[in-house]
Amino acid sequence: MVFGLLKDIKNGEYRTIATPGEIATIVADGHTALVQRGAGATAGFADEAYEKAGAKLVDTMEEIYAQCDFVTKVKELEPCEFPLLREGQIIFTCIHPAAHPEEVQAILDSKCIAFTAEDCHRYGSPNCEAAGKQGALFGLESMLSINGGKGKFVSGLGGAPAMNVLILGGGTVGQAALSVLYALGARVTLMDINIGLLRTTQRQYQERIDTMLCTKENIAALLPQTDMVLNCVKWPKGRHDFLIDRKMLRLMEKGSVIVDISNDDDGAIESFHETTHENPRYIEEGVVHYCVSNIPGAIANSTSIAYAASVIPHFRSILNNGIAEACARDGFLRRALTAYKGYLTHEETSALQNRPWVRPEDILGIADRQLDQASPATVTRSDNKLPLEQVKL
């Protein structure tokens, strides 16, 4: 196949999804690799390094889309890319399809084969780890008096206490944030709905953190003594309640900080609205909010290396084995299949956008095989299934 690496064009995006190391591996497998000039520059990977790895450099995204069988980058497709999609072309990027109906429609109209990268990670996304760790540090930066915060130092000083930090959600993001804040000396409470996870985490930290069941009532009880809240909860799309509503902000001291790492409209924090690295903070009810949607982009080199390492097995499996075989071998890749030649194959998107969908294993003709299994990517279910006899490929 001809593999194409695009330069990301989303504002504030500095990462790349493939470093020269992954390009060398793809070329060694016998494929051709095209790389758009500057694709890795802001992450610290020069064009010359890609050339040395065996890639051919091209100037424009139009050339990548026109010449490549497999096209990849980090973030969502921008409207200027929609007309460039081709039937049968493989697209692998963070589509976030449930939240982007226009992008989904363009993908379906083009009849391309699209994978949403955020759903493909068996061991949790490196971007989630990066967001948790760096989000914790941005939270500490937001606590500074010069940024509107109350001016507390994370581990305290002689005669002055450490910060009290509340982490909502103990998944990959929350665990990553916890590792940083604990190491720096914060007094941390972790909340989750999984008692087993809380028990295991408390043992991991030698009983030196507090854990609680994540409920709105428990959060409200802690907020008056909490200096910083990190929201790491993947809030189900379509819910209209909140873990922290605007009234609850008044329970917090002025200059306290909320870092919404999960960063969703209609998410767990009612007062959330997305910010950028250029203007990362705003204040509501005296509480500093840090709501940058692309925290991992601030550590583009490290995140790119970790991210590329996590997806290169998927790239190689698709390139070397084809779509059907790759999806049969890996359930996490299969659940990431978003659209196949004009048909939606992503359950959450079906439910939230009221579109009919087809299970990936059905449209790929592998349902009767022994398949690698994966848990659903989200709790959202859809019964709006298109009968297989209506699928015309």
Report the candidate in 298, 231, 296 with the shortest Cα–Cα distance to residue 261. 231
Q: Is the pLDDT of residue 12 over 90?
A: no
Tell me whether residue 264 is one of the annotated catalytic residues. Answer: yes
pLDDT for position 379: 87
Q: What is the pLDDT of residues 313-337, one digit of tens each?
A: 999 999 999 999 999 999 999 999 9
Q: Is 123 helix (H, G, I), strand (E, B) or coil?
A: coil
pLDDT for position 238: 74
In order of 79, 165, 266, the CA distances from 246 in angstroms are 34, 19, 13
Q: What is the pLDDT of residues 355-377, one digit of tens each?
A: 999 999 999 999 999 999 999 99
Q: What is the pLDDT of residues 214-235, one digit of tens each?
A: 999 999 999 999 999 999 998 8
pLDDT for position 16: 98
User: What is the pTM assigned to this prediction?
Assistant: 0.92
Q: What is the pLDDT of residues 35-84, one digit of tens each?
A: 999 999 999 999 999 999 999 999 999 999 999 999 999 999 999 999 99
Q: Which residue in the list 8, 119, 227, 264 is annotated as catalytic?
A: 264
Bin 189: left if φ > 0, else alpha if -120 < ψ < 50, else beta: beta
| Cβ-based neighbour number of residue 181 at 10 Å | 28
Q: Is 354 helix (H, G, I), strand (E, B) or coil?
A: coil
Angstrom distance (rounded) from CA 49 to CA 71: 20
Tell me whether residue 96 is one of the annotated catalytic residues. Answer: yes
The mean pLDDT value for 187-194 works out to 98
